[in-house]
């Protein structure tokens, strides 16, 4: 069996997000977020689930950190719930909310786990949404203010920061496809929001630098790989457009100070006009210390006039899928990392999310999630191929520590290394947890063992 070994410097971790695990939705002065509203809108979330209790990590974070310690991780990525800090988005800080994150970070540090903090993982204060949400440029100012307060408060305690998680989901999935909060179906609105998110990201980076905050800052776009069906120019171009929607649209502005011209034309042909103001590019186009990449899936695609947004038809070739219906496509992970490296000057990369949905349950106190282990083996092997090909990988964080509130899928879809019984909130470590622990201890693994 081949042994896949990683360089000693690679940091290992797990990732979570506030609304998906914390619960305590109405405690200690937390304000409502767009996800509280969305999950109360009939038909939006499977089984009518919501994040009111979730994994109750707000109260059980010490138990969760103990499991992280036993897992042997170096880094824990979590997100701060903006409405816990500013219940109405701006104004007075809610001290109780702040205390929670101080306790969390102190506990992590006491266990030699480095915190990596995402400022925005989708729980926008509802009050800001009522004023137009991310379509309103005031929200950019509110975000910059919130970011500044967090930088000042946690300077030196949190040393790795991510401004925004998955801008594609916040803009297009939530405001054009309509699957996530607030659930709009408007391409112009979604495109405007994508631009505002980039400005908000840039405003936070500006604050970080001007305040001289210790540590590093990046942001975390998600991507999908599209493999052209053939080497016909039209297939290759269609796949490139599909990928650019995730990659170049959200990265060229940061690294190059412009949008990819070929996508601008596509959007304009669909009647979209870009809402760019003076000074935006200066904010957006600034050096960041790393990008966080979230990778789950890829597909084969080909040109088909009128298909989807970019004349791109995904072909379902019956590749194996995880329990959420996403193709298992580890070779796309390798290719995407190489693409990013060649396009963006060997930028340091943290894999801020990668993982699989499998819904295995508890049997005699164990969870035999062998498919998750296989998925991790395949993707970590792709990661090693990328490292050996010169990709500047700094760390890998799997999604997720715990089964949790999987957005529109509610509690129906499980991504955790640890099983949660959502009735009793009992935690059970899965086989994949033990596999990952061993992998971290040996800094590698034998394929298939």
Positions annotated as catalytic residues are: 166, 353
353 near ligand BGC, rule: CB under 6 A: yes
Please list every residue from 268 through 327 that binds ligand BGC, using CB under 6 A. 294
Q: Output 17 or 98, the one with its CB closest to ligand BGC.
A: 17
Binding mask 210-249 for ligand BGC (x = CB under 6 A): ------------x---------------------------
Whose tokens are 């038909």? That residue is 43
Please list every residue from 124 through 153 that binds ligand BGC, using CB under 6 A. none
406 near ligand BGC, rule: CB under 6 A: yes
Q: Output 22 or 353, the one with its CB closest to ligand BGC.
A: 353
166 near ligand BGC, rule: CB under 6 A: yes
Q: How far is the CB of 45 from ligand BGC (least distance, A)?
A: 13
Whether residue 4 contacts residue 445, with contact meaning beta carbons closer than 8 Å, is answered with yes
Q: How far is the CB of 232 from ligand BGC (least distance, A)?
A: 31
For 442, list phi and psi in degrees, rounded to 5.
-95, -5
Smallest CA-to-CA distance from 436 within 63, 16, 48, 71 is with 71
Which are the contacts of 323, defined by CB distance < 8 A and separation ≥ 6? 357, 358, 359, 413, 414
State both tokens at 31: 């304000």
> Binding segment for ligand BGC among 97-105, 164-172, 204-212, 253-261 (CB under 6 A)?
164-172
Whose tokens are 């019984």? That residue is 421
Please list every residue from 246 through 265 that binds ligand BGC, using CB under 6 A. none
174 near ligand BGC, rule: CB under 6 A: no
Binding mask 360-399 for ligand BGC (x = CB under 6 A): ---------------------------------------x
Q: Which of 17, 21, 164, 223 binds ligand BGC (CB under 6 A)?
A: 17
How many chain residues touch ligand BGC (CB under 6 A)? 11
Q: Output 21 or 65, the one with its CB closest to ligand BGC.
A: 21
175 near ligand BGC, rule: CB under 6 A: no
Cα dihedral across residues 187, 192, 194, 195: positive or negative = positive
Q: How far is the CB of 123 from ligand BGC (least distance, A)?
A: 11
Side-chain-side CA neighbours of residue 318 (13 Å):
0
3-state DSSP call for residue 226? strand
Q: Output 77 or 207, the one with its CB closest to ligand BGC.
A: 77
118 near ligand BGC, rule: CB under 6 A: no
Q: Which helix (H) or strand (E) holds 223?
A: strand 222-228
Q: Output 17 or 128, the one with its CB closest to ligand BGC.
A: 17
Q: How far is the CB of 399 from ligand BGC (least distance, A)?
A: 6
Side-chain-side CA neighbours of residue 176 (13 Å):
20
- Compute the distance between CA of residue 172 and CA of residue 181 in angstroms, rounded to an integer: 11
Smallest CA-to-CA distance from 294 within 426, 130, 170, 422 is with 170
Largest CA distance in the chain: 62
Smallest CA-to-CA distance from 290 within 58, 41, 126, 116 is with 116
Chain-centre distance for alpha carbon 424: 28
Torsion angle of the four alpha carbons 102, 351, 64, 5, in this order, in degrees rounded to the nearest 10 = -130
Please list every residue from 411 through 440 that binds ligand BGC, using CB under 6 A. 415
Contact residues toward ligand BGC (CB under 6 A) are: 17, 20, 165-166, 169, 222, 294, 353, 399, 406, 415
């Amino acid at each position: 069996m081949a042994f896949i070994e990683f360089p000693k410097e690679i940091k290992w971790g797990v990732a979570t997000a506030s609304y998906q695990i914390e619960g305590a939705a109405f405690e200690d002065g937390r304000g409502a977020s767009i996800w509280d509203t969305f999950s109360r809108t009939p038909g939006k979330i499977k089984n009518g689930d919501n994040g009111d209790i979730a994994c109750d990590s707000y109260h059980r974070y010490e138990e969760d950190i103990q499991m992280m310690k036993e897992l042997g991780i170096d880094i824990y990525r979590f997100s701060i719930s903006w409405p816990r800090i500013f219940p109405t988005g701006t104004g007075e800080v809610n001290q109780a909310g702040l205390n929670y994150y101080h306790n969390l970070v102190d506990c992590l540090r006491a266990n030699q786990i480095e915190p990596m903090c995402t400022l925005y993982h989708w729980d926008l204060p509802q009050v800001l949404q009522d004023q137009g949400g991310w379509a309103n440029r005031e929200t950019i100012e509110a975000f910059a203010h919130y970011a500044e307060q967090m930088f000042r408060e946690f300077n030196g305690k949190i040393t790795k920061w991510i401004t925004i998680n998955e801008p594609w989901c916040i803009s297009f999935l939530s405001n054009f496809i309509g699957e996530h909060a607030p659930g709009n179906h408007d391409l112009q609105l979604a495109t405007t929001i994508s631009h505002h998110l980039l400005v908000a990201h840039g405003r936070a980076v500006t604050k970080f630098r001007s305040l001289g905050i210790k540590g590093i800052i990046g942001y975390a776009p998600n991507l999908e790989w599209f493999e052209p069906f053939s080497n016909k120019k039209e297939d290759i171009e269609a796949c490139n457009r599909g990928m650019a929607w995730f990659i170049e649209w959200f990265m060229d502005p940061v690294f190059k100070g412009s949008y990819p011209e070929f996508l601008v034309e596509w959007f304009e042909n669909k009647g979209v006009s870009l809402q760019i103001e003076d000074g935006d590019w200066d904010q957006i186009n600034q050096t960041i210390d790393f990008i966080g990449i979230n990778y789950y899936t890829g597909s084969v695609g080909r040109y088909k006039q009128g298909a989807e947004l970019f004349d791109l038809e995904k072909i379902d070739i019956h590749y194996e899928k995880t329990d959420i219906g996403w193709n298992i496509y580890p070779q796309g992970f390798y290719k995407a990392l190489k693409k990013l490296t060649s396009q963006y000057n060997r930028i340091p990369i943290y894999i801020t999310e990668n993982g699989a949905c499998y819904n295995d349950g508890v049997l005699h106190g164990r969870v035999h999630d062998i498919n998750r282990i296989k998925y991790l083996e395949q993707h970590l092997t792709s990661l090693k191929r990328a490292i050996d090909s010169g990709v500047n990988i700094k760390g890998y964080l799997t999604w997720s520590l715990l089964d949790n509130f999987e957005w529109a899928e509610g509690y129906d879809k499980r991504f955790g290394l640890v099983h949660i019984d959502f009735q009793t909130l009992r935690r059970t470590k899965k086989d994949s947890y033990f596999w990952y622990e061993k992998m971290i201890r040996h800094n590698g693994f034998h394929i298939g063992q």
